[in-house]
Amino acid sequence: MSHIQEEIHRIKAELPENVRLVAVSKYHPVEALQEAYDGGQRIFGESKVQEMTMKYEALPKDIEWHFIGHLQTNKIKYMAPYVALIHGVDSYKLLAEINKQAEKVGRIIPCLLQIHIAQEETKFGFSMDECQAMLAEGAWKELKHVQIAGVMGMGTNTDDEAQTEREFASLQAFFHEVKQAHFADNPHFCEISMGMSDDYPIAIRHGSTLIRVGSRIFGERVY
């Protein structure tokens, strides 16, 4: 068994039943993904639409492709036919454009609302207030070709576990608040995507259902 396959097995063995592993494969070659696939991994996360589409075409078709980067509206059409989940929706405009492109290909695309929980300005996402306002406004209910499936957040890049703990706890609380207010009867609103190679055990304690792990599986990125 290769290093990649060993890591996948090691991580999956630690995961509670309701938590899924997204192998963050951006910048890694198709061969590395094939190796992970042969080791049983079926969910891959990419952050460049062109790269993801190339890999989608090259690899087996039972893979779930998750888009985890910052998404530009003009790129959506290229992945609309196959993307399984878009993790980073941070505006109503983006949601509406995903809906438009999904309708053209006859699909309903699941999306996560990205919430800014980190202290770093560089991270994208709605503030909690902006997200609440968009949901309360209600135009999203008319978008029949997207499915809001939950929330996503990225913690501050820090060694301070207490801070990471606070940020993840805040996203968990926000998820439950939004679920109760807008999705109480909707079983599809069920995902919390948070936690990466360094902090996913903390994320799991705070209800994460999708962890995004790259360097631990594939080693450092090849640029």
Per-residue pLDDT of 42-58, as tens digits, reads 999 999 999 999 999 99
How many Cβ atoms sit within 10 Å of the Cβ of residue 144?
Answer: 10
Query: 113, 152 in Cβ contact below 8 A?
Result: yes
C-alpha separations of 89 from 16, 60, 61, 139, 221 in Å: 26, 27, 25, 15, 25
d(CA 16, CA 120): 30
- What are the residues whose beta carbons fall under 8 Å from the beta carbon of 99, sequence distance 6 or more? 109, 143, 144, 145, 146
Type of residue at 121: E
Tell me whether residue 34 is exposed, middle or buried, using C-beta atoms within 10 angstroms of its C-beta: 0 to 12, 13 to 18, 19 or more.
Answer: middle
Report the mean per-residue pLDDT for the chain: 96
Which residue, among 30, 27, 37, has the nearest Cα to 4 in the 3D structure? 37
* pLDDT tens for each residue of 93-148: 999 999 999 999 999 999 999 999 998 877 689 999 999 999 999 999 999 999 99
* pLDDT tens for each residue of 181-198: 999 999 999 999 999 999
d(CA 192, CA 208): 5
d(CA 2, CA 40): 12
- Beta strand 109-115 with 20-24: parallel, antiparallel or unpaired? unpaired
Query: 182, 144 in Cβ contact below 8 A?
Result: no
pTM of this prediction exceeds 0.85 = yes
d(CA 120, CA 98): 27
Q: What pLDDT score was predicted for residue 55? A: 98
* pLDDT tens for each residue of 25-42: 999 999 999 999 999 999
Name the superfamily (CATH) of residues 3-218. Alanine racemase (3.20.20.10)
d(CA 11, CA 184): 32
Burial 61-86 (b: 16+ CB within 10 A, else e): eebebbbbbebeeebbbebbebbebb
Say yes or no to pLDDT of 87 above 90: yes
Percentage of the residues of the chain whose pLDDT score is greater than 90 = 95
Instruction: Read off the DSSP letter of residue 69.
Output: S
